Structure 1
Amino acid sequence: MSYPATVRAVEARAVAAIVIASLTIALHDALVKRINDELGIWQLYLLRALFALPLLTALMRMRGVSLRPRRAGWVALRSLLMVTMWGFFYAALAQLSLPVVAATAYTFPLLLALMAAWLPEEHLDARRLLAVIVGFIGVLLMLRPGPEGLSPWSLLPLGSALCYALAALVTRYRCVDEPPLVMSLGLNLGFVVAGVLGLAVVAGIDAQSVTAQPFILSGWQPVGAGLWSLMALLGVLIVTASSLTAQAFQQGRPTLIATCDYSYLPFAALCSGVLVGEWPGPATLAGMALIIGAGILAIHARKGERPE
């Protein structure tokens, strides 16, 4: 099928937006991995949001977007799922390499394919079932289950993928008319709430437990000029990535943009190697390739889609 030149131009901009967003969030995640022994997750949630929220508010005022969500309850549920998703992702990141965590978390299209069997608008056909099986094999290659290969931390990226898939369903069926910046604002407000509550809970944790799991159980740590600058950079990166992602999915065909979104995985591997010194091994690369292929297969299982 051929598309008009204007449609192709718009989709070219959408593809550029999602690729830049993927690189931006990969850089963001590698920087989080780099500092996870200096700052706890709850303080990270709070400090990053303190920079992201003013930037989001300014963007919304510039574009005339109301700060009030149209469906506050569903936006709140989506924010809870996304905050939990990032929590699982970051907790796994403290124990596993970024390429492994990223590729395992990107099984969310496969989980969506399984969930499709329960939706009246969708169904689980043979092609999607094959995608799920191939993706599962890819996860097994990376996590290497066995007495020495598999740990409870390996399950956290799968929990992250599940939360992301559920958030995607809420976005598609309950928040479809919400402006993307409003959902981003809700997410960062969720980070503030989670950060404050998390810091309150870990305040009474004994020092021995904190030493065992510093990223999850650390309370408030002194923040120098370098960390403040990094928090500002992380705030800009996450707002930039979320805005570009929303723009891409609004302007391009979902199957095309979702396929290009897999560019995050090689970007994550590159940023992990350059910034953290963790380069993926052969098994990780093979598993990543299987997950990418399975995700593309699942995404394109639905036929007859037309550009909007």
Structure 2
Amino acid sequence: MIRGNHTVQAAAAICGYAVLIGFTDNYVRVIASEIGLWQFHLMRSLMVAGLLVIAAPLLGLRLRPVNLRGVVARSAVHGSAMLCYFAALGFLPVPQVAAGLFTAPIFVLLISRFAYGERIGPFRILAVAVGFAGILLILGPESARLGPAAIVPVIAGALYAMGNIATRRWCPGEGAVTLTAGFFAALGIFGAIGLALTSALPLEVPPGAAGFLLRGATWASLPVTFWVFVQAAGSLVGVGLMVRGYQLAEPSRVAVFEYVVLPAAALWGWTLWGEMPVAREWLGMALIWVAGMLIVMRGR
């Protein structure tokens, strides 16, 4: 178990995670045009399992959990959060879904305070408020028009916060590799269940990315298979960094750094697809960095 709060190291780990995930998630649009959500999760988890089987003996990685019950519970919670997030993409615009998911730091603060009795200082409360203001600027006016359907991504945010707290509370003696493997195992199981259900209950599937949620098993082309593998490798390293970050410091300190995911994704979108952020979005990114620096300085 890592004692104390190593805030700077945790911030570096989370920023590395954000850069990797920002890159790989920009290619979900390519994957979604051909295969479904459930097949994507199952394929990616199987690829991650193959990579871990190869890497574990070579690098001396420990996969066996110390507390199996804690790892299973954490994996189920984090996996459920990602299922809610991707499911919401099937019927809500991406900005609304992202706004719901990034309520997670707020839930981290609330759960840490009221469930575990942690003292939350004014600097961390201010940092979360500043970071959330930055998120709203990036998402734009659309984020203020959330209807009743917004409950699904908000549930994703709450589950994501619970999973982040569980990383330190339920699994203090686990290695980052063990927790990462458990996370992808849960998503693989969910993917297999989803494929079984879509096969047993075939539905009319819209073409292209619109059918991402309802599409059953299909034959993936070589380019899509390649990008699923890139997702697997990038996510394996990225999620490992994220897990490590939450082991290095209290979840309420680390959570604010995850705001970096959105500007990282926006910068990759500009680099890969020529989608240039507008001035309002750049201002939002600046606020996010201010929030991160407040946490770093307070951590020192």
Tell me the TM-score range normalised by the shorter chain: 0.7 to 0.9
Deviations 1:148-179 (A, max 9, x none): 94345644443322111100111111101111
TM-score (norm. length: structure 2): 0.78
Name 1:170's counterpart in structure 2.
166
Name 1:123's counterpart in structure 2.
119
Q: Confirm or deny that 1:263 pairs with 2:282.
A: no
Classify the secondary structure of the residue corresponding to 1:58: helix
Q: 1:214 aligns with which of 211, 215, 232?
A: 211
Given that residues 257 and 292 in structure 2 are in contact (C-alpha distance below 8 angstroms), is that contact kept between their aligned partners in structure 1? no
Q: 2:72 aligns with which of 73, 76, 84?
A: 76
Q: How does 1:197-276 map to 2 (within 5 A)?
A: 197-203=193-199, 204-207=201-204, 214-247=211-244, 261-275=258-272
Name 1:181's counterpart in structure 2.
177
Structure 1 residues 21 and 131: CA distance shift in structure 2, 3 A: closer
Name 1:190's counterpart in structure 2.
186
CA distance in 2, matches of 1:283, 1:154: 23
Given that residues 34 and 209 in structure 2 are in contact (C-alpha distance below 8 angstroms), is that contact kept between their aligned partners in structure 1? no
Q: How far did residue 239 of structure 1 move?
A: 0.9
Moved more, 156-165 or 72-81: 156-165
Structure 1 residues 210 and 28: CA distance shift in structure 2, 3 A: same
Q: 1:61 aligns with which of 57, 61, 85?
A: 57
1:219 is aligned with what amino acid?
G
TM-score (norm. length: structure 1): 0.76
CA distance in 2, matches of 1:290, 1:153: 28
Given that residues 210 and 217 in structure 1 are in contact (C-alpha distance below 8 angstroms), is that contact kept between their aligned partners in structure 2? no
Instruction: Report % sequence identity.
Output: 29
Moved more, 174-183 or 102-111: 102-111
CA distance in 1, matches of 2:9, 2:296: 21
Given that residues 39 and 215 in structure 1 are in contact (C-alpha distance below 8 angstroms), is that contact kept between their aligned partners in structure 2? yes
Moved more, 122-131 or 187-196: 122-131
Name 1:160's counterpart in structure 2.
156
Given that residues 18 and 245 in structure 1 are in contact (C-alpha distance below 8 angstroms), is that contact kept between their aligned partners in structure 2? yes
How many residues were matched structurally? Answer: 292
Classify the secondary structure of the residue corresponding to 1:150: coil
Name 2:3's counterpart in structure 1.
none
Classify the secondary structure of the residue corresponding to 2:19: helix
Given that residues 89 and 105 in structure 1 are in contact (C-alpha distance below 8 angstroms), is that contact kept between their aligned partners in structure 2? yes
Structure 1 residues 140 and 233: CA distance shift in structure 2, 3 A: closer
Name 2:26's counterpart in structure 1.
30
Gapped runs of 5+ residues in structure 2?
1-5
Structure 1 residues 110 and 163: CA distance shift in structure 2, 3 A: same
Name 1:45's counterpart in structure 2.
41
Q: How far did residue 261 of structure 1 move?
A: 4.6
Q: Considering only aligned residues, what root-mean-square deviation do their CA atoms show, in Å? A: 3.8
CA distance in 1, matches of 2:50, 2:191: 17
Q: How far did residue 205 of structure 1 move?
A: 3.5
Q: 2:82 aligns with which of 80, 86, 104?
A: 86
Given that residues 28 and 234 in structure 1 are in contact (C-alpha distance below 8 angstroms), is that contact kept between their aligned partners in structure 2? yes
Q: How far did residue 106 of structure 1 move?
A: 3.3
Deviations 1:92-142 (A, max 9, x none): 4455347x6556533322221122221444135555555565566556653
Classify the secondary structure of the residue corresponding to 1:216: coil
